[in-house]
Amino acid sequence: MQFRVQWRAMSAPPLLLGHRGARVCRCAPENTFTSFDLALKQGCDGFEFDVRGAADRSLVVCHDPKVGRVTISRATRRQLPSLPCLEDVLAGYGGRVFLDIELKVKGLESAVLAALRKQPPERGYVVSSFLPPVLLELKARSARVPLGIICEKKSQLRKWSELPIDCVMAHKSLVDQKLVDEVHAAGKKLFVWTVNDTKSMRRFADWGADAIIADDPGLLVSTLRPAMRGQSSASD
């Protein structure tokens, strides 16, 4: 089965994405359905979330390697009842929003591709990672899966052109107009993370960033799409 790869934005560019959902809100813990729903309610086009592998090969959504005192890689899915799983996120959101699926560790490639084949996101997605070997393995197994390299340091950013990727996902401190233009000239897309002030949001949008990821989805939407934010608030 082939992947349905779709990059069309749900609204005018750039894509507005919540970081781990709506990370800024303490009432909605990050990487949970509550946080994802809040990011969408506030007007985002989708969200970024983190995936790790449990000992029984299940794919769970969590940023850190541990939940409390439990190490995820040594636990079974039944020992991690509070964590969403990738399949549930794909089933619940894949038909209506853009998904940025970050793989935190190696060894998940086959399972992730199987999940995407079973429930391909219909409104666009990218599989991202800080780890080049993860991206190379994914590309070797499926030429069609959209991939993104995440860069936080200049040393990481220098290698983006050597990888079989569709987008560069750069920390805000690394992004300038020159980088945006270079990435676009290579036929790739530029995602910026994590952007949490209005001045930077406007600047990156003006430079032509294809997506902006923020901890505060409400601020992101009210800054770049104030009309949409107003509609969202009116419907609450």
User: Residue 228: left (phi > 0), alpha (psi -120 to 50), or beta?
Assistant: alpha
**61 within domain boundaries:** no
Token code pair at residue 169: 């996902």
User: Is omega for the bond preceding 14 within 30 degrees of 0, making it cis?
Assistant: yes
- Per-residue pLDDT at 229: 53
Q: How far apart are CA 50 and CA 31, in angstroms?
A: 7
**21 within domain boundaries:** yes
Instruction: Label residue 13 by pLDDT band (50, 70, 90).
Output: confident
Task: Decide if pLDDT at 59 tops 60.
Answer: yes
Q: How far apart are CA 11 and CA 25, in angstroms?
A: 24
Task: Decide if pLDDT at 233 tops 70.
Answer: no
**70 within domain boundaries:** no
Task: Decide if pLDDT at 83 tops 90.
Answer: yes
- Per-residue pLDDT at 97: 98
**234 within domain boundaries:** no
Cα 106–Cα 196–Cα 146 angle in degrees, nearest 5 = 35
**150 within domain boundaries:** yes
In this structure, the number of other CB atoms found within 10 A of the CB of residue 226 comes to: 11
- Per-residue pLDDT at 235: 46
pLDDT in tens, 111-140: 999 999 999 999 999 999 999 999 999 999
Q: How far apart are CA 181 and CA 78, in angstroms?
A: 47
Provide the residue range defining the domain that includes 167.
15-51+89-225
Q: How far apart are CA 164 and CA 136, in angstroms?
A: 7
Q: Say if residues 87 and 116 touch (Cβ distance below 8 Å).
A: no
**4 within domain boundaries:** no
Alpha helix segments (H runs only) across the chain: 33-41, 86-93, 109-118, 132-141, 154-157, 177-185, 198-207, 217-224, 226-234
The number of folded domains in the chain is 1
**43 within domain boundaries:** yes
CATH number at residue 186: 3.20.20.190
**195 within domain boundaries:** yes
